[in-house]
Amino acid sequence: MKRLVCAVACLGLLVASGPPLDAQRPAVAAGRKTRVAVLDFEYGAVRSASAAIFGTDEDIGRGISDLLVTHLVNDGSYSVIERAALNKVLAEQNFSNSERADPTTAARLGKVLGVDAIIVGTITQFGNDSKSTGLGGVGSRLGGSALGGASVKSTKAVVEISARLIDIDTAEILAVATGKGESKRTSTSLTGGGGTWRGFGAGGVNFGSSDFQQTIIGEAVKLAADQLSRGVISGQSRLHIRAVEVTGLVADVEGDTIVLNVGRNRGVTVGDRLSVERAGREIKDPATGRAIRRVNSGVGVLRVTEVDDESSVASVVSGSGFKVGDSVKSSAP
């Protein structure tokens, strides 16, 4: 009986002291931030309201996306794929605006980008709820058409947005975040307010500019994006860092620019750090003469700056004397 009690106690101790599932993940995955890409938000439901406000079909989905990226980068919880790299992949994959909120398409893009998760979003409300006089009584317009010369007593801008964090392996929605912003002023239009914003040039509306954010619609946008960003950041705990072990060879050396024979198809992404080693002496078993180990020497560390499907370009972080044929592999940040 005593032996049985002892065995049960020991088993309970082993179960209790076993490492959590997250602790069992490969070290290469645990040594870096969660890598994400943020797609431009889908805004089809509010396209007409937005066009009424700005006088043109402004891509407000891109503006919201850029605000979210800025928040995530400043917070530092995530490693965010830069827009240039994202746009290149979108062009190569013939990605259309209608696919912005589709989880399956997002997951496929995420695999190509080599990220852990991809963030898609939707703008569900973008306009005004303004009460005006001078039209035979008090009227209420929702969506952004009571603008300009209308006699406006009280103008209220409302912006609502939502985001979903998508698992790129399963297309499962891992976390959801929402944001809502409201701003109310008197005797002005949605694009009026305390700022000096007077429209936009060829580059479109800069949602991040302080002048725009002081307008009524701009303030509502900022409040909604701030709330959404906090939700996305808090959802990081639900994401899994994918272990991608990159191995390859140095294919060309030109000064501090190193070309590698591995690219996006092998999991390489912009920003990756790779350690470089050179094959050294071979150790043989004295009894059999068979090679049992090769001692490699460290050459340095590289950071990937450009990636295509079959190759990548890296700059030198540390070390010197890199040669064609040197081996490269994933390195902790």
Return d(Cα 270, Cα 306) in angstroms, integer: 6
Alpha helices in the chain (DSSP H): 2-17, 27-30, 47-54, 60-75, 83-92, 103-113, 210-213, 216-234
Chosen CATH of 247-330 out of 2.60.120.650, 2.40.10.410, 1.10.287.610, 3.40.47.40:
2.40.10.410
Buried b (16+ CB within 10 A) or exposed e, 19-33: eeeeeeeeebbeebe
Domain residue ranges in the chain: 25-238, 247-330
Query: Band of the pLDDT at 141, cuts 50, 70, 90?
Result: very low
pLDDT for 6 beyond 50: no
Pinpoint the alpha helices (H) of 93-240: 103-113, 210-213, 216-234
Condensed to tens digits (0 to 9), the pLDDT of residues 37-47 reads: 999 999 999 99
The pLDDT value recorded for residue 15 is 36
For residue 55, pLDDT beyond 70: yes
Question: Which range scores top for mean pLDDT: 94-103, 141-150, 309-318?
Answer: 309-318
Per-residue confidence (pLDDT) for residue 9, from 0 to 100: 44
DSSP-assigned letter for residue 290? -
CA 182 – CA 216 distance, rounded (Å): 8
Query: Are 159 and 67 contacting, i.e. CB atoms less than 8 angstroms apart?
Result: no
Beta pairing partners, 65: none
Contact 191, 197 (CB under 8 A): yes
Topology (CATH) of 25-238: Rossmann fold (3.40.50)
Q: What's the pLDDT at 241?
A: 79
